[in-house]
Copies of this chain bind each other. A is one copy, B any other.
Amino acid sequence: MKNTFGNHLCVTLFGESHGSCIGAVLDGIAPGIEIDEAYIRARLAQRRPTGAISTARREQDDFSIVSGVFEGKTTGAPLCILIPNADTNSKSYQKDILRPGHADFTAACKYHGYQDYRGGGHFSGRLTAPLVALGAIVQLALEQKGILIGSHISTLAGVRDAEFSDLEAGIRALNTKAFPTLCDEAGENMKEQIRLAAQAGDSVGGILESVILGLPAGLGEPWFDTVEGLLSHALFSIPAVKGVEFGAGFGFADLRGSQANDAFCIEDGRIRTVTNRNGGINGGITNGMPVLFRTVIKPTPSIFLEQDSVNPVTMEPQRLQIQGRHDPAIIHRARVVVDSVAALCIADLLVGRFGTDYLSSASAAGN
């Protein structure tokens, strides 16, 4: 379904980096959910570039919700959000040079040269802004159901963050931070690495580790629509994501079955697992333990170092010196996108399982 994701709660994304606005439609959202504009703004702010470690492009992300909300609450009809593109500077972009690591070449192949190439067009990371806004709406509704989502930068340019001790407290702390690490010192060291890369005209990547707390057991399908399959499908849409793993992930290759299996136990009268190497998912279905996954974010492809490229018109080699305003790292900005995409995906599963009114406390109250 191309630019639409979700089977029950569906997001359709549209827009280009240098068009008049970008936006998204959220369909299938329950009626009666309160819209907290301040929270949406706060989440958009966490995605927005800030300070020396980000691009100089400054967008206010002054969103407007043009449908699906009435008197401050969702109506149940499709919610469309628009975010204007204000600070565009299209002059830096040329159609006749392919930026390595970007989608310039593949866009031209797919769209036969008709694509809006300015700023990456429809491929721009800027399109994650409406995803974050919709994710914020859904995340608040999930919180009212006891479901929490959060992510930290577990590793960046050789610097490792601390591990989670208390998951809930960790998530709550991370969700207030602009640079999401559990250990502040690790965060400072990471930022220093970003600055060093920036000074070298280069960029860095890293790994985000995410947790979803409070999911009921029994979500997901054995074949095809596994929780892993659905989450990864959505996560790979985020520009720069090149790998997704659950629980011990690629580390499973070095374990034996006796180390990989999570033994069962009884705790507070409920069945749980003693360890959680399977990341809260068995056979594609949630088991009630925290869902744990990691996504790798490749280094921003826009670097200032000169690169080898090609002019697709003349079909001749050409050296490329990227101009414009770019991020030496996007992983700290990608964090809130990962959270948002996970929230949308999980909400879709919950709505499919429990029906269209699930996310709304209001409708349950018999309104």
Contacts and interface: CB of A to CB of B under 8 A. Distances in A.
Contact of A232 (B205, B232, B296): B232
A25 B10 CA distance: 13
A212 interface: no
Q: Which of A234, A269, A299 has the most CB of B within 10 A?
A: A299
A324 interface: no
Q: Which of A28, A232, A367 has the most CB of B within 10 A?
A: A232
A103 B281 CA distance: 9
A257 B75 contact: no
A271 interface: yes
Given A100-B262, A103-B282, 14 more contacts: A3-B221, A4-B4, A12-B12, A15-B67, A106-B220, A242-B252, A244-B245, A249-B296, A261-B303, A269-B315, A271-B310, A274-B308, A353-B355, A353-B356
16 contacts: A5-B224, A14-B25, A14-B67, A14-B78, A20-B64, A22-B67, A76-B111, A98-B264, A101-B261, A157-B256, A205-B255, A228-B241, A242-B252, A243-B243, A269-B315, A353-B356
A265 interface: yes
A122 interface: yes
Contacts of A286: 106, 109
Can you tell how many copies of this chain the complex includes?
4
Interface stretch (A113-121, A136-144, A171-179): A113-121
A123 interface: yes
Given A75-B122, A362-B114, A205 B296 contact: no
A279 B243 CA distance: 11
A162 interface: no
A242 B245 contact: yes
Interface residues of A, number: 159
B258 A250 contact: no
B260 A78 contact: no
Nearest to A274: B308
Contacts of A7: 1, 7
A244 B132 CA distance: 24
Contact of A109 (B103, B278, B285, B305): B285
Given A14-B67, A115-B77, A263-B308, A222 B103 contact: yes
Interface stretch (A36-44, A49-57, A181-189, A196-204): A196-204
A278 B255 CA distance: 28
Given A253-B155, A298-B252, A103 B261 contact: no
Nearest to A251: B296
Interface string A148-162: 000000011110000
A325 interface: no
A271 B77 contact: no
A239 B223 CA distance: 9
Interface string A42-85: 00000000000000000000001011101001111111101000
